Structure 1
Amino acid sequence: AAITGLDALPLSPNGKVDRRALPAPRWEAADEGFVAPRNEVERRLAEVWCQVLGLERVGVHDDYLALGGDSILSIQVVAKARGAGIRITPRQIFEHPTIAALAPQAEDLPSERDGDRGDGLHGTSSDAVAAGPLPTELLATWERAHGPLHAVWPMTGLQQGMLYHALAEPESDAYTEQLVCTLSGVLDPQVFLDAWRRAVNRHSALRAHCAWQEVDAPLLVVPRDIDVPAVYEDWTAVDDGTGRSAAERLDEFLASDRRSGFELSGSPLVRLALFRTAAEEWTFVWTNHHILMDGWSLPVVAGDAFALHTSLRTGAEPDLAPAPDYGAFVRWNASRDAGEDEAFWRKQLSGLTAPALLAPVRATAADPRTAPYEPSLRLSEERSRILRDVARERGVTVAALVHAAWALVVARRTGARDLAVGSVLSGRPAEIDGIERTVGLFINTLPLRVRISDGMRADDWLASVHQGLQDLTDHQHAPLTEVSAWGGAPAGARLFDSIVVVENYPIEGTATDGFTVDGARLVERTDYPVSVQVMPGGERLELRLCVDATAFDAAGAQRLLDDLDRSLDALTGDPGATVGELAAGVGGVVSSWSGVGVGAVGVGRPVFEAVVALAGSAPGDVAVVDGGGEWTYAELERASAVVAARLRESGVGPDSVVGLCLPRGALMAVAMLGVLRAGGAWLALDPSYPVERLRLMVGEAGCAVVVRGGGQAGVLDGLLPAGTVVVEADGLDLTVEVDRAGLDAAHEDDLAYLV
């Protein structure tokens, strides 16, 4: 606890306590009430807390959150405790937030000897192939192309999702990440870049590339060494003739660098660039594909690079322990029992009937290279302190506070009372040695379910959101596709379209041999319409949104940030207020999306029944018009019956997914209606899509039958799984009469289509 004496409480003009005028408390334990560690376990835990939280001393009754702890720091606490011979978990820290309560939960670990220091450049041993048996010739082919292999790993669910997106949207720059650092001081460019090349090669995960065409499931192939591409340009010595400033040249480079993308199947998925912008000023750009690593890894690699830079400049041996191998996580992840995850997620998502989606449905395809809007807000030191104080007082993390605030925004804008927002979880298993120093992609994005109860006290509701986040950590490695399926979502459907990520990976301000990192920013994109990024490090908390410009305009993006700002302000107010009272001050539903004023629609008959009925009552009326002419209701009914009968013969029934590879026009309408009359669900396979996107769509949706026609013969050749039935629409006589027995029997609850 922290106690600060005041002569009087500062009051606002309306007579309430003015929190913003309160002095900042000191969170180290006061002498009065301080209880020192009483046994060896408490002593070691106190030392760990002091190291991680930056304190001189910790009493056994001091609260972890009150001392400034959070979910990210809990991973470091667990890792350092393991090094001190104590096994604890992040969940135990939050359930038993004092050393006195935590110590009885701790387990003693046998002492471990320090490993050899090695040369500081590679792990201590080569990882075995962790992806199961692979053909010898395939491994030999990879080695001929990329040199001796260190490992072959299966991808995590998130990595598979990133690969899917890259193949489906090859023009998109989503998941291309750029770390942009401004440096000052004396620098030898080649030594600097060589240090970074060596730092990259130290970590096995950064040497990986993707393989998916020759194997049953996507893999990461990891050579023992890679040649990291690097460029250096001296912009002080070379005039490009345009008169552009260094900032303009940098912006152009960053855009061009993003457009270059990565060849995921072979080239290194990381590259470096260094630009001299003044006598002792530099800009360094590290570009990588997100499939390799998460933000936590950034300061780890940077620290290695800075140490290697010093070593190269001085000629001394690098003082670096062997880098932990990402393969340890791969093996741990492969050994998990998914049964508990499935039970948890089925219960967690039970009854979540519809997603609360912020982005409006797009009328046209988005340009995957359209730059997003990125409004940001850096809170004042005073307001940042208030926000942290409120979180401590209510026993929650800052991350929980921001998740709750964003859930309020989503609820108010969509009208949902039971919703899910995406939460990006660290994914680092505390039981793996050296996990806090391991470089790789551990994060996972999963749904945080939030229920809005207007009459619930705000502090109780906030505590429930905090507990919900803690519950996720025990089941944070389940692939999102499986979680969605366990929750009953149709294949390809999203449970949420906005995510919250807390980023606390400081590099800015680092001083090393000869130079200082004056500034650092991470340029990153996801395929979600809205990403909420929270940077809690430093004195001033920062909020940044990355908003899809094809879903929102600039003003709309700013309104989202303004709503989040108001939501946070409301949550730091009266703890006794109700959730309904808090939400009243947050931006409401966008009326054009909300359905306000639209009358309720009663249960009607399915569309195919209406068409069949019109074919009987008004057979000559025009039903469909396209560039090729007009179709009457009678013609539409007859043609769709032909398609439906053929699909029924092919085994199509309730919830069967039928791919439609057809041009837009009347034939597509006939096929859609035919699928519905057969009882199935249709999935449009646009012939203009990239080949890999079509392959993945068919596989993910589980299409057993595909209808192809309208001059699209050959489009899907070689893309369909073995056994897929292909119905050639151009070969069907759509004018004949067929037996309609068994048609038009679909129920209103059956799946109708996928997008």
Structure 2
Amino acid sequence: LGRPLPHVRVHVLDTRFRPAPAWATGEIHIGGAGVSRGYLGRPALTAERFVPDPFGAVPGARLYRTGDLARRLADDDLVFLGRADDQVKIRGHRVEPGEIANVLRTHSTVREAAVVLRRDEDGPRLIAYVVTRSGETAELRDHCARRLPDHMVPAAFVPLEVLPRTPNGKLDRAALPEPERTEPGTAYVAPETDAEKTLAEIWAQVLHLDRVGRHDNFFTLGGDSILSIQVVAQATQAGITLTPPLLFQHPTIAELAALGPRVPAVEADQGPVTGPVRPSPVQRWFFEQDLPAPHHYNQAVLLRVREPLDPVALEKSLRALVIHHDSLRLRAFRSPGGEWTMDIAPPIVDYPILTVADLSGLPGDRRTTAHEDLVARAQTTHDLARGKLLHALYTGHHLLLTAHHLATDGISWRILLEHLTAAYGGTRLPRKTTSFQHWTRDLADERPEPAATEPIPRERAESPEVNTYGNARTVTTSLEPRRPVTQDVLLTALAHTIATWIHRPTVTFDVEHHGRTHAPTHDLTRTTGWFTTIHPLTLTTTHDPHTTLQHTKNQLSEADRRHRPSAEIRFNYLGRFDGALGEDAPWELLPDAVDGTADPSGRRPYLLDVNAMVIDGTLRVHWTYCPALHRRETVETLAGRFLRETERVLDGEGGDFTGAGLSEPDLEEFMDHLDDVFASEGEA
């Protein structure tokens, strides 16, 4: 819609006639010289549409309620979303179908789009009718899912040659055809073909469900982009070739199985990979940190041992990992001028990879101290120039695995743990997928500029130099969510938490992503390495967390890759580790954060590091901070509020509050009151 003409005022107001925040949906109200006194001879309609102007300087001024819904952008431009009387309610949310249609029209193949609510035996469903240049609709679900909350993604997409119109040019809803029953209802429908049964078993294992029906939606069941990689990897091992984008486009068992053999498999070199490696963007970022001890920058996992291990078999399995996974043989060299280069060493493990220590004879306190000393020593064993990037410590009841971050990331650990379990059990490791060397070679050469960000509050006037890994402390909280959490939900909760703290509606933080973007020539489902991307994300919060959730999806789908990470808060969602290794594995993953993964004298790049993961159904969130800059009580307050905001978003996603006797305005007022309560808590 652009901006109003001179002498005309346009307000976007919520249901209580308050200005709607940027990105929030509201009704357009027009004021100024162009507003008439009302409808001639229609006093009731005049009273409904012409309301007192609380913003006008002239006594008795009125606003005209247009009935049009819009959203105000950050630059004050208005985006038309549809008519207020076109709103529908689904899963407890008011939805503007016109807004969904607008999102569909942003797809390059869509010429026209309309979205309507249909009711059948499964309840209300949003149906999208689209006119596309190709006649195909396969990509549209993924397009919507990346830009809209789950409840706004249409249940079905119906291709048409033209949208039916009435004689006056409006959409002829009665002429729209009924959609075919290709989408699931709530009833369980058993898988039918062998491919469907195989996929259902994989989904059930990855999502930890008793059963999965052929029409169940992967993302409705709690799937996400990280879990999709696991599904693709297991499907490939079972002889079904998939890609993560296909899972987004066809999120049901029936749809995926129907694809048949149309997806070509990506061939990867099965021999040892050696030679020069181009650093990935995040590896370049690491080298730019200029840490005093770059060899000491690790990731580590702690396993509880279920039964005594055979040290000889364990060491053999660890060596098999290094030979199989090329990233574990990376070498890094710094020239006298400070430039870093990398290569991959030959598949030879000529260094001690396992330390075995029997602490069972020590009393409790001494055993704890001895274990901490051994863990600290294990963290300093890596050698970048020799390619010694993996080490294990076995102390009888626990197995510590530590790897330099140059060689691993969150998804890499899933792969390594799965393969270590297989190798120790005598199972042959699966075929290799695209090498890290190949992947970095094909990356575009991007050199993003720093983004402009506002600093977060400091509570003590200490120099930033004190923000070292040795000074850092961590607050850990946990939550057993009633519904599966996703990165979108957690980012929305974090935005509301930080906005309340800094007293600004707009917040910016750096967000880590797994970075394993799909390309037809790459299959990274079983490849280890540091693929992570880090990009700044700016979110504008509203009084309604679900409006913020929609904004979050929009922003994530258009990630700011023009700028390099420069915020003071970093967020990383590592995904779900629910029973990741299986009940038959000789070890199980512990949720405890391992201390000492970085050199104590190294300076931390962030003031607040927020890391979240789900282990055995429990959301665990680690808030790492510097006590010389922020008080522990403040971080504990933020951590507690974050959990409440997470529940608030999840509860609202679930459905309807009408059973509680609350109208929508009453509910909004109650939520606003909660915001006021949270804002008045002890900030220090």
Shorter-chain TM-score bucket reads 0.5 to 0.7
1:443 correspondence with 2:558: no
1:74 correspondence with 2:228: yes
1:542 alignment counterpart: 620
Structure 1 length normalisation: TM-score? 0.55
Q: 2 CA distance for matches of 1:47 and 1:510?
A: 14
1:293 alignment counterpart: 408
1:182 correspondence with 2:304: yes
Taking a change above 3 Å as real, the CA distance of residues 85 and 171 of structure 1, as seen in their structure-2 partners, is closer
1:504 correspondence with 2:596: no
Q: How far is 1:516 from its partner?
A: 3.9
1:377 correspondence with 2:465: no
1:307 alignment counterpart: 422
1:404 correspondence with 2:492: yes
Q: 1 CA distance for matches of 2:503 and 2:518?
A: 38
Q: 2 CA distance for matches of 1:163 and 1:358?
A: 28
Residue type at the aligned position of 2:322: V
Q: 2 CA distance for matches of 1:216 and 1:466?
A: 40
Q: How far is 1:428 from its partner?
A: 1.6
1:354 correspondence with 2:442: no
Q: 1:178 touches 1:287 (CA, 8 Å); kept in 2?
A: yes
* Bigger Cα displacement from structure 2, 294-303 vs 583-592: 583-592
Q: Which runs of 5+ in 2 are unaligned?
A: 1-89, 92-182, 599-603, 654-663
Q: How far is 1:158 from its partner?
A: 0.8
Q: How far is 1:587 from its partner?
A: 4.5
1:244-271 CA distances to partner (integer Å, 9 max, x unpaired)? 432222123333444x364433351222
Q: 2:295 touches 2:384 (CA, 8 Å); kept in 1?
A: no
Q: How far is 1:208 from its partner?
A: 1.0
Q: 2 CA distance for matches of 1:235 and 1:335?
A: 48
Q: 2 CA distance for matches of 1:508 and 1:100?
A: 25
Q: 1:421 touches 1:497 (CA, 8 Å); kept in 2?
A: yes
1:250 correspondence with 2:371: yes
Taking a change above 3 Å as real, the CA distance of residues 357 and 184 of structure 1, as seen in their structure-2 partners, is same
1:124 correspondence with 2:231: no
Residue type at the aligned position of 1:504: R
Which structure has the greater CA radius of gyration? 1
Q: 2:507 touches 2:540 (CA, 8 Å); kept in 1?
A: yes
Q: 1:408 touches 1:583 (CA, 8 Å); kept in 2?
A: no
Q: How far is 1:162 from its partner?
A: 1.7
Q: 2:232 touches 2:525 (CA, 8 Å); kept in 1?
A: no
Q: 1:235 touches 1:246 (CA, 8 Å); kept in 2?
A: yes
Q: How far is 1:105 from its partner?
A: 9.2
1:113-147 CA distances to partner (integer Å, 9 max, x unpaired)? 9x9xxxxxxx72243xxxxxxxxxxxxxxxxxxxx
1:154-185 CA distances to partner (integer Å, 9 max, x unpaired)? 111111222232x3443996x32232223142
1:462 correspondence with 2:549: yes
Q: 2 CA distance for matches of 1:462 and 1:304?
A: 37
Q: 1 CA distance for matches of 2:567 and 2:464?
A: 22
Cα RMSD between the aligned structures?
A: 4.2
Q: How far is 1:78 from its partner?
A: 4.3
Q: 2:508 touches 2:536 (CA, 8 Å); kept in 1?
A: yes
Taking a change above 3 Å as real, the CA distance of residues 110 and 182 of structure 1, as seen in their structure-2 partners, is closer
Q: 1:200 touches 1:301 (CA, 8 Å); kept in 2?
A: no
2:608 alignment counterpart: 530
Q: How far is 1:186 from its partner?
A: 2.9
SS at match of 1:199: helix
Q: How far is 1:530 from its partner?
A: 1.7
Residue type at the aligned position of 2:454: P
Residue type at the aligned position of 1:65: F
Q: 2:591 touches 2:615 (CA, 8 Å); kept in 1?
A: no
Q: 2 CA distance for matches of 1:291 and 1:63?
A: 36
Of 280, 283, 298, 1:159 maps to 283
SS at match of 1:291: helix
Q: How far is 1:203 from its partner?
A: 0.9
Taking a change above 3 Å as real, the CA distance of residues 251 and 81 of structure 1, as seen in their structure-2 partners, is closer
Give the fraction of aligned pairs with identical amino acids, expressed as a percent. 19
Structure with the bigger percentage of helix: 1
Q: 2 CA distance for matches of 1:40 and 1:308?
A: 28
Taking a change above 3 Å as real, the CA distance of residues 124 and 574 of structure 1, as seen in their structure-2 partners, is closer
Residues 564-603 of structure 1 aligned to structure 2 (within 5 Å): 564-574=642-652, 583-587=675-679
SS at match of 1:185: coil
Q: 2 CA distance for matches of 1:469 and 1:583?
A: 25
1:494 alignment counterpart: 566
Of 328, 345, 350, 1:227 maps to 350
Residues 601-640 of structure 1 aligned to structure 2 (within 5 Å): none
SS at match of 1:234: coil
Taking a change above 3 Å as real, the CA distance of residues 38 and 262 of structure 1, as seen in their structure-2 partners, is closer
Q: 1 CA distance for matches of 2:531 and 2:548?
A: 29
Q: 2 CA distance for matches of 1:190 and 1:104?
A: 46
Q: 2 CA distance for matches of 1:103 and 1:306?
A: 29
1:513-555 CA distances to partner (integer Å, 9 max, x unpaired)? 8x44474644256642222222223232222222233332332
Taking a change above 3 Å as real, the CA distance of residues 182 and 418 of structure 1, as seen in their structure-2 partners, is same
Residue type at the aligned position of 2:563: V
Q: 2 CA distance for matches of 1:206 and 1:214?
A: 25
SS at match of 1:561: helix
Residue type at the aligned position of 2:356: Y
1:429 correspondence with 2:517: yes
Residue type at the aligned position of 2:409: D
1:627-655 CA distances to partner (integer Å, 9 max, x unpaired)? xxxxxxxxxxxxxxxxxxxxxxxxxxxxx
Q: 1:275 touches 1:283 (CA, 8 Å); kept in 2?
A: yes
Taking a change above 3 Å as real, the CA distance of residues 572 and 213 of structure 1, as seen in their structure-2 partners, is same
Q: 1:570 touches 1:582 (CA, 8 Å); kept in 2?
A: no
Q: 2 CA distance for matches of 1:416 and 1:47?
A: 47
Q: 2 CA distance for matches of 1:303 and 1:185?
A: 18
Q: 2:217 touches 2:251 (CA, 8 Å); kept in 1?
A: yes
SS at match of 1:73: helix
Q: How far is 1:332 from its partner?
A: 3.4
Q: Which runs of 5+ in 1 are unaligned?
A: 3-28, 116-122, 128-149, 277-281, 312-317, 389-396, 485-492, 593-755
Q: 1:497 touches 1:530 (CA, 8 Å); kept in 2?
A: yes
Q: 1:78 touches 1:430 (CA, 8 Å); kept in 2?
A: no
Of 422, 433, 436, 1:324 maps to 433
SS at match of 1:355: coil
1:204 alignment counterpart: 326
Structure with the bigger percentage of strand: 2
SS at match of 1:545: strand
Q: How far is 1:558 from its partner?
A: 1.7
Taking a change above 3 Å as real, the CA distance of residues 468 and 39 of structure 1, as seen in their structure-2 partners, is farther
Residue type at the aligned position of 1:375: V
SS at match of 2:317: helix
Q: 2 CA distance for matches of 1:507 and 1:365?
A: 40
Residue type at the aligned position of 2:428: D
Q: 1 CA distance for matches of 2:613 and 2:200?
A: 27
